[in-house]
């Protein structure tokens, strides 16, 4: 069954009841809650009796709205709405790619709720480093950019509004005020997020309990069985005893 919350911006989500803290999965850009990693974590949570939520940002998957009208700030607010309206008690956030950026923003904004973080090829600030100067110029002058997607037959669309929102919410220029256990899993064959970005992210997190796992032959998706095993171990590692 798919639930929705909150009423003013209904978001589709699946909630698996269980013991806390609730694990919340944050998808990547143009992704949704039916991805292989979200479903694998859900299956593990059910088997372990742990609470888990996967959801769709506004304009994605089963959540209403137009994809091209969304921004990073709106999707950050969607993650906060799930924490505020759909979950009771502490949460562990698991963010994939762009979801890793939203994970960090949500942890900063809900320090009383978030008790652990797992970033999977996290991509904070990718509006800065993920586009060429020409692509940024196209966004600014034409308001929209299409790029071929290695994950879909449809191109990946980025709007000027999303790009501007990302630029306004960059984190890695200073210490990121996160004080909980953090695990970062990054493929060294990732063509979307250079692994050096994740190494730098570990350095700018305030928390002393940060571990980075570099998977030498891992790509951006990190969805092979051995990658899923790493992710599940990382989640178990940040759950408070």
Among residues 31, 97, 165, 227, the one annotated as catalytic is 97
Distances (CA, A) of 134 to 126, 142, 180, 221: 15, 12, 38, 26
Task: Report, in this order, helix, strand and coil percent for the chain, each rounded to 5.
Answer: 35, 25, 40
Query: Which domains occur in the chain, in start order?
Result: 3-131+171-238 (3.40.50.1820)
The question of whether 173 is a catalytic residue gets the answer: no
Provide the whole-model pTM: 0.96
Among residues 78, 190, 192, 227, the one annotated as catalytic is 190
pLDDT of the residue at 2: 65
The question of whether 31 is a catalytic residue gets the answer: no
pLDDT of the residue at 74: 97
Q: Over 60: is that where the pLDDT of 150 sits? A: yes
pLDDT of the residue at 132: 96
Report the candidate in 120, 146, 147 with the shortest Cα–Cα distance to residue 35.
Answer: 120
> What is the three-class DSSP state of 26?
strand
Q: Over 90: is that where the pLDDT of 42 sits? A: yes
* Burial class, 157, CB count within 10 angstroms (exposed 0-12 / middle 13-18 / buried 19+): middle
Q: Over 90: is that where the pLDDT of 223 sits? A: yes
Q: Over 60: is that where the pLDDT of 1 sits? A: no
The question of whether 190 is a catalytic residue gets the answer: yes
**DSSP H or E stretch at residue 187:** strand 182-187
Question: For 185-200, how does the pLDDT look when each residue is reduced to its tens digit (9 = 90+)?
Answer: 999 999 999 999 999 9
Q: Over 50: is that where the pLDDT of 211 sits? A: yes
Alpha-carbon distance of 12 to 57, in angstroms, equals 8
Among residues 125, 165, 220, 227, the one annotated as catalytic is 220
């Amino acid at each position: 069954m798919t639930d929705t919350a909150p009423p003013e911006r209904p978001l589709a989500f699946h909630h698996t009841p269980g013991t806390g803290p609730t694990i919340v999965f944050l998808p990547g850009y143009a992704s949704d809650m039916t991805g292989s990693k979200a479903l694998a974590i859900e299956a593990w949570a059910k088997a372990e009796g742990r609470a888990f939520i996967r959801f769709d940002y506004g304009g994605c998957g089963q959540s209403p709205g137009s994809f091209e009208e969304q921004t990073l700030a709106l999707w950050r607010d969607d993650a906060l709405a799930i924490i505020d309206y759909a979950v009771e008690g502490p949460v562990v956030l698991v963010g994939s790619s762009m979801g890793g950026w939203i994970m960090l923003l949500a942890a900063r904004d809900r320090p009383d709720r978030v008790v652990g973080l797992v970033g999977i090829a996290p991509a904070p600030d990718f509006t800065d480093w993920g586009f060429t100067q020409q692509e940024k110029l196209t966004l600014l002058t034409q308001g929209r950019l299409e790029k071929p997607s290695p994950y879909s037959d449809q191109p990946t669309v980025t709007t000027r509004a999303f790009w501007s929102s990302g630029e306004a919410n960059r984190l890695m220029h200073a210490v990121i005020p996160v004080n909980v256990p953090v695990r970062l899993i990054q493929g060294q064959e990732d063509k979307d997020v250079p692994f050096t970005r994740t190494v730098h992210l570990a350095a700018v997190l305030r928390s002393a309990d940060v571990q980075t796992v570099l998977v030498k032959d891992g790509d951006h998706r990190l969805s092979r069985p051995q990658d899923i095993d790493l992710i599940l171990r990382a989640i178990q590692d940040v759950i408070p005893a």
